[in-house]
C-alpha cells in the first residue's frame, strides 16, 4: 500500500498539469443545408455537385503523422461537412500523387469489400466524432478506397471497438487522380447531448503506396490518429437537431440442424425466434432490450496453442454487449476484470435482458444491465440473474472516477445430490481512477475491488495501479497488482489469485533522418510475481530490439530469462500427459525473432521463431507463420501455422504438435460475403470447419447461413455437425 500512497497523488498531479485541449485552434464551422429547388437534398453518389457542398467550408492542409510528424502531408485531402434535420453529411476528396511507376497497377491497395477491415492494410479515409467533446468516448466512420465501410465505438480516449454496427450510408467513387468518399450519418445512429454546439472531430487518411498516414488536426506519431486528445472542433451554427422518437426493433428467426456423432444421437432440429430493441431515452442515453437472443452467426474464435497454466482470454463479439460496453467490460485491467460478458450465456440460454447506457451529461456516464438465464436440468444449473451498475464521473480535462457493482444470483436454488454445486450469489464492488492528461503523455489507473460471497470474506481484496509516460522517443511505465487468495469474480476474468505483481517497462526510439529505416530502438520489461507471503513464484525479464522500415515492415529480436515455481501440478505440454510436481522450481533462457512484411504487397507474410529452455531442463522450439494473398478487392486467402516441439528429459514425454488455420474470404459485393475457416489443432485433438455466408440485404439487416463441422484428427471422423440459417431485420419504428 506504500506504492499506492505514492502513485495516487502522482496521478492527480499529472492530470492537473495538462488541462487544456491541444488542438483548440483547429475549428470547422458547419452550416445547415436547406433543400430547395435550387439546392436539392444531398445525393450520396461520390459526386460533389450539390450547392450545399460548394457553399461548405473546406478542411485541408492535413499534417503528416507517419512516417514523420514534422511537416504537412504530401498527399492532398479536402473534407467538407454539412447537415439537415435528419443526417450529418461528409465528403472527402482524397487525391493521388502523380503516377511514377508500374506500382500504380495495383492502386488502390485494399484487403476486400468486407466491413471493418484492418486499418494498416488498406488505402482509406476515416474520421472520429467526439459529440461530447470530452476527448474520451466517441464514434468512428469511414471507408477504404473501394467503399467497404468502417464503423465503431471509441473508448479510453481513442481505442476502437469495430464490432459495433449501425445504420448509415456511404459511397466511394474512383477518378483518375483521386477517390471521393461521401456519407450520410443519421442523427439517430449516434448519441449526443441536446444543446451542445461544439463537438470534437478529426479526419485520418492512410495511403499505402506512399506509406503516408495523415490527419487534419496534428497528432504526434507515437499516438494513433484516433486519439481524441488531439481532435479539432466542429462549431455548429445551431445546436444539432433533436430527431424525435428513436426506436429500432431487430427481430430474428432461425432454423437449424445439428447432430452429435460421438454420442450417436439422431439429428436434432432447432427453430427459434427472438427480438432486440434499441430505444433512445434521450439523444445521449440508450436502452437496449433483448428477448431470447441468439448469437450463432458470430465469428468463430481463432484457436491458439495453449501452454499457459491459466485460463486464456477471448474477446466479446456479441452485438448486444458492445455499445457503451467499455464502461463495464473494461473496468480493471486485462487480467483483472470484475465483469466479463462472455460468462453470461455460457452453455445456457439467455431468456431476456436490458441495458441502459450512455451519457447523463458531459461529466456523467451510466451503465445499468440486467440479464436472466434459464435453468439447465441436465447439470442442475439453476436459473441465474446477472445485474451490473456502473457510474463514471469525469474529472479534470480527460480523467474520470468510476464505481461498479456486480451481482450474480442463483434463483430458487438448492443443491441436488449427485450434481455440481453452484454458489447462491457472488458480488463485486469496485472503485477506479483513470488518468489521461490532455496531451495523452501521462496515462494510468488506480483500482480497488472487493468480492462478497457466502464462503469467503477475508483476503478478498484487489488493488492495482499503473502509470505510463509516453513521448516520441520514450515510453516508461510501472504497474503493480495485488489479488487476494479468496477474491472471487464469477462474472469476471481473473485467471490468477493470491499474488503480488510488479511490472516496470521502458523503451527508447531512435528516429533516423533518412534511409530505409524509419525507427529503431530497445525495450526492456520485467515481471516479478510473489505469493501473499512475498515468496517469489514467477519472474521474467525480456530485452527486445525493434526496427521499423519506411515500407512499414517490422523486424524484432529478443531474449528473455524466466523463473517459475509451480503452485499446482502442471503438464508443460497441456496435452494430458505427465505432470510436474507442485513446488518444483524451473529456470530457463529463450531467444526469438519476429518479422512482419510490408502491407502494400499483394502477398503478405509474417514469421516468428523462438528457441530456448523449458520446464524440467527441457527445450522448446516454436515456429509460427502467417501468409496472405489478395486478388483485390474480391478474394483474400490466408494461412496461419504454428509448430511446437517440446523435449523433456525422461521419464517425461516429448511432444510435437501443429496448429494450422487456412481461411478464404470472398467478398462478391459490399453486401455479400462468404468465409471458410479451417482450424487443425493437434494439441486439442480437433479439426474445426466453419463456413459462413452473409447477405446484407438492407442496412444492418442480414441473412446468415452457417455450417460447422468438428472432426477427429487422423481419421477425420465426424464428432459433430451443425447447419444454421438466421434472418435479421433492422426496423426503425
pLDDT digits (tens, 9 = 90+) for 25-66: 899 999 998 776 555 578 999 999 888 998 999 999 999 998
Residue 298 cell numbers, joined: 458470430
CA–CA dist 156, 129 (Å, integer): 14
Residues 121 and 662: their CA atoms lie apart, in Å, by 19
Going by pLDDT thresholds of 50, 70 and 90, the confidence category of residue 311 is confident
DSSP-derived letter for residue 116 is: S
Look at residue 39 in the predicted model and tell me its pLDDT.
54
Burial tier of 617 (Cβ tally within 10 Å: 0-12, 13-18, 19+): exposed
Is the pLDDT at 6 greater than 60? The verdict is: no
Q: Give 335's contacts (C-beta < 8 A, 6+ positions apart).
A: 313, 481, 493, 494, 495, 496
Contact 291/274 with Cβ under 8 angstroms? yes
Extract the C-alpha cell encoding 248: 429500432
Contacts for 582 with CB less than 8 Å, ≥ 6 apart: 566, 567, 568, 569
Q: What angle do CA 593, 603, 102 make, to 5 degrees?
A: 125
> How far apart are the C-alpha atoms of 319 and 163, rounded to whole Å?
7
Chain-centroid distance of CA 262 in Å reads 36
Look at residue 438 in the predicted model and tell me its pLDDT: 86
Question: Cα–Cα–Cα angle for 636, 641, 642, nearest 5°?
Answer: 150
CB atoms within 10 A of CB 578: 14
What is the DSSP annotation of 673-693?
EEEEEEEEETTTTEEEEEEEE
**Band of pLDDT at residue 17, cut at 50, 70 and 90:** very low
Phi, psi of 323 (to 5 degrees): -65, 125
Lowest mean pLDDT among 31-35, 403-407, 426-430, 639-643: 31-35
- Residues facing residue 255 across a β-bridge: 271, 725
Residue 106 has pLDDT above 70, yes or no: no
H or E element that contains 51: helix 51-55
- The model's pLDDT over 327-354, given as tens digits with 9 standing for 90+, comes to 888 899 999 999 999 899 877 889 999 9
CA distances from 196 to 87, 186, 191, 297, 602 (A): 17, 17, 12, 38, 45
pLDDT of residue 442: 94
Q: Nine-digit cell at 664? A: 478464404
Residue 325 pLDDT exceeds 80 = no
| Mean pLDDT over each residue of the chain, to the nearest integer | 89
Contact 673, 663 (CB under 8 A): no
The predicted structure's pLDDT at residue 430: 97
Tell me how long the chain is.
733
Measured CA to CA, the distance from residue 671 to residue 112 in angstroms comes to 12
The edge-to-edge listing of strands for the beta sheet with 178-186 is 77-83, 87-95, 178-186, 169-174
Strand, coil or helix: 455: coil
* pLDDT of residue 100 exceeding 70: no
Alpha-helical runs (H) found in 301-367 = 326-329
| Residue 319 and residue 246 in contact, taking contact as beta carbons nearer than 8 Å | no
Q: Which of 27-41, 154-168, 274-288, 476-490 has the highest mean pLDDT?
A: 476-490
Band (pLDDT 50/70/90 cuts) for residue 420 is: confident
Res 172 pLDDT > 90: yes
Check pLDDT > 80 for residue 432: yes
Asked whether the predicted pLDDT for residue 673 surpasses 90, the reply is: yes
Query: Can you spell out the DSSP letters for 268-309?
Result: EEEEEEEEEEEEEEETTEEEEEEES---TTSPPPPP-----S
pLDDT at 400 over 60: yes
- 18: pLDDT confidence band, cut at 50, 70 and 90? very low
Instruction: Name the pLDDT band for 722 (thresholds 50, 70, 90).
Output: very high
Query: CB within 8 A of 102, min separation 6: which ones?
Result: none
Q: Are 401 and 433 in contact (CB under 8 A)?
A: yes
- Cα–Cα distance between 35 and 42 in angstroms, integer? 8
Task: Report the distance separating Cα 360 and Cα 285, nearest Å.
Answer: 7
3-state secondary structure of 83: strand
CA angle 669/202/517 to nearest 5° reads 85
What's the rounded mean pLDDT across residues 420-440? 91
pLDDT at 173 over 90: yes
pLDDT reading at 10 higher than 80: no
Angle at 21 between CA 20 and CA 27, to 5 degrees: 135
| pTM of this structure | 0.86
Using alpha carbons, select from 595, 599, 505, 513 the residue that is nearest to residue 547: 595
Strands 27-30 and 232-236: parallel
Nearest to 190 by CA among 83, 339, 52: 83
CATH number for the domain running over 31-236: 2.60.40.1190
- Given a cut of 70, whether residue 9 has pLDDT beyond it is no
How far apart, in whole angstroms, are the C-alpha atoms of residue 554 and residue 424?
Answer: 51
Given a contact cutoff of 8 angstroms between Cβ atoms, the answer to whether 117 and 178 are in contact is: no
Of 23, 91, 95, 97, residue with least CA distance to 58: 91
| DSSP tag of 343 | G
pLDDT band at residue 368 using 50, 70 and 90 as cut-offs: very high
Position 16 pLDDT exceeds 60 = no
DSSP string covering 182-241, please? EEEEEGGGS---TT--EEEEEEEEEETTTTEEEESS---TTS-TT-GGG-EEEEESSPPP
Q: What is the mean pLDDT of residues 275-295?
A: 88
Give me the sign of the Cα torsion angle 388, 248, 117, 120.
negative
Amino acid at each position: 500500500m506504500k506504492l499506492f500512497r505514492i502513485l495516487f497523488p502522482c496521478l492527480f498531479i499529472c492530470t492537473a498539469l495538462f488541462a487544456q485541449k491541444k488542438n483548440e485552434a483547429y475549428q470547422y464551422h458547419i452550416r445547415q443545408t436547406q433543400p430547395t429547388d435550387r439546392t436539392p437534398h444531398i445525393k450520396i453518389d461520390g459526386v460533389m455537385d450539390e450547392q450545399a457542398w460548394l457553399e461548405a467550408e473546406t478542411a485541408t492542409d492535413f499534417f503528416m503523422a507517419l512516417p514523420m510528424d514534422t511537416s504537412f502531408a504530401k498527399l492532398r485531402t479536402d473534407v467538407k461537412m454539412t447537415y439537415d434535420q435528419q443526417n450529418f453529411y461528409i465528403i472527402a476528396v482524397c487525391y493521388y500523387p502523380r503516377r511514377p511507376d508500374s506500382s500504380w497497377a495495383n492502386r488502390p491497395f485494399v484487403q476486400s469489400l468486407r466491413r471493418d477491415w484492418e486499418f494498416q492494410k488498406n488505402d482509406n479515409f476515416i474520421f472520429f466524432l467526439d459529440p461530447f467533446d470530452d476527448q474520451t468516448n466517441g464514434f468512428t466512420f469511414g471507408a477504404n478506397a473501394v467503399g467497404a465501410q468502417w464503423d465503431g465505438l471509441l473508448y479510453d480516449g481513442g481505442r476502437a471497438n469495430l464490432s459495433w454496427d449501425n445504420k448509415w450510408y456511404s459511397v466511394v467513387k474512383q477518378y483518375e487522380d483521386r477517390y471521393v468518399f461521401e456519407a450520410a450519418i443519421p442523427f439517430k445512429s449516434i448519441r449526443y447531448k441536446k444543446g451542445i454546439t461544439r463537438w470534437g472531430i478529426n479526419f485520418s487518411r492512410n495511403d499505402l503506396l506512399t506509406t503516408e498516414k495523415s490527419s487534419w488536426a496534428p497528432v504526434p506519431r507515437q499516438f494513433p490518429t484516433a486519439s481524441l486528445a488531439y481532435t479539432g472542433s466542429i462549431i455548429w451554427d445551431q445546436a444539432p437537431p433533436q430527431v424525435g422518437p428513436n426506436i429500432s426493433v431487430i427481430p430474428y428467426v432461425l432454423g437449424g440442424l445439428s447432430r452429435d456423432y460421438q454420442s450417436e444421437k439422431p439429428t436434432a432440429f432447432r427453430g427459434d425466434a427472438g427480438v432486440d430493441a434499441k430505444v433512445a431515452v434521450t439523444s445521449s442515453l440508450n436502452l437496449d432490450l433483448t428477448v431470447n437472443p441468439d448469437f450463432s452467426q458470430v465469428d468463430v474464435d481463432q484457436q491458439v496453442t495453449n501452454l499457459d497454466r491459466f485460463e486464456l482470454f477471448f474477446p466479446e463479439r456479441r452485438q448486444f454487449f458492445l455499445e457503451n460496453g467499455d464502461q463495464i467490460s473494461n473496468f480493471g485491467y486485462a487480467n483483472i476484470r470484475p465483469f466479463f460478458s462472455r460468462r453470461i450465456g455460457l452453455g445456457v440460454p439467455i431468456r431476456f435482458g436490458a441495458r441502459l447506457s450512455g451519457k447523463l451529461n458531459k461529466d456523467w456516464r451510466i451503465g445499468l444491465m440486467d440479464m436472466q438465464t434459464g435453468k439447465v436440468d441436465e447439470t442442475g444449473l439453476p436459473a441465474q440473474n446477472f445485474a451490473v451498475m456502473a457510474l463514471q464521473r469525469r474529472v479534470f480535462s480527460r480523467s474520470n472516477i468510476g464505481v461498479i457493482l456486480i451481482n450474480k444470483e442463483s434463483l430458487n436454488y438448492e443443491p441436488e445430490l449427485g450434481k455440481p454445486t453452484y454458489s447462491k450469489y457472488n458480488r463485486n464492488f469496485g472503485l477506479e481512477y483513470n488518468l489521461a492528461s490532455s496531451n495523452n503523455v501521462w496515462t494510468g489507473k488506480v483500482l480497488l475491488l472487493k468480492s462478497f460471497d457466502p464462503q469467503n470474506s477475508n483476503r478478498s481484496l484487489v488493488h492495482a495501479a499503473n502509470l505510463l509516460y509516453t513521448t516520441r522517443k520514450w515510453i516508461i511505465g510501472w504497474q503493480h497488482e495485488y489479488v487476494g487468495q479468496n477474491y472471487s469474480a464469477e462474472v469476471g476474468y481473473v485467471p490468477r489469485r493470491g499474488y503480488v505483481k510488479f511490472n516496470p517497462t521502458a523503451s527508447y526510439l531512435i528516429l533516423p533522418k533518412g534511409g530505409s529505416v524509419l525507427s529503431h530502438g530497445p525495450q526492456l520489461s520485467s515481471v516479478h510475481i510473489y505469493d501473499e507471503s512475498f515468496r517469489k513464484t514467477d519472474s521474467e525479464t525480456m530485452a527486445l530490439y525493434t526496427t521499423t522500415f519506411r515500407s512499414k515492415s517490422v523486424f524484432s529480436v529478443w531474449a528473455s530469462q524466466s523463473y517459475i515455481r509451480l503452485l499446482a501440478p502442471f503438464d508443460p505440454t497441456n496435452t494430458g500427459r505427465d505432470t510436474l510436481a507442485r513446488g518444483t522450481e524451473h529456470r530457463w533462457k529463450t531467444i526469438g525473432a519476429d518479422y512482419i512484411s510490408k502491407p502494400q504487397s499483394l502477398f503478405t507474410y509474417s514469421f516468428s521463431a523462438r528457441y530456448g529452455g523449458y520446464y524440467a531442463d527441457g527445450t522448446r522450439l516454436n515456429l509460427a507463420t502467417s501468409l496472405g494473398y489478395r486478388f483485390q478487392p474480391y478474394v483474400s486467402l490466408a494461412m496461419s501455422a504454428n509448430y511446437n516441439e517440446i523435449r523433456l528429459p525422461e521419464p517425461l514425454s516429448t511432444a510435437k504438435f501443429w496448429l494450422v488455420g487456412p481461411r478464404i474470404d470472398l467478398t462478391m459485393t459490399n453486401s455479400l460475403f462468404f468465409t471458410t475457416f479451417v482450424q487443425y489443432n493437434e494439441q486439442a485433438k480437433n479439426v474445426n470447419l466453419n463456413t459462413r455466408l452473409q447477405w446484407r440485404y438492407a442496412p444492418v439487416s442480414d441473412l446468415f447461413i452457417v455450417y460447422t463441422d468438428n472432426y477427429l484428427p487422423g481419421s477425420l471422423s465426424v464428432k459433430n455437425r451443425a447447419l444454421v440459417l438466421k434472418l435479421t431485420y433492422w426496423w426503425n419504428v
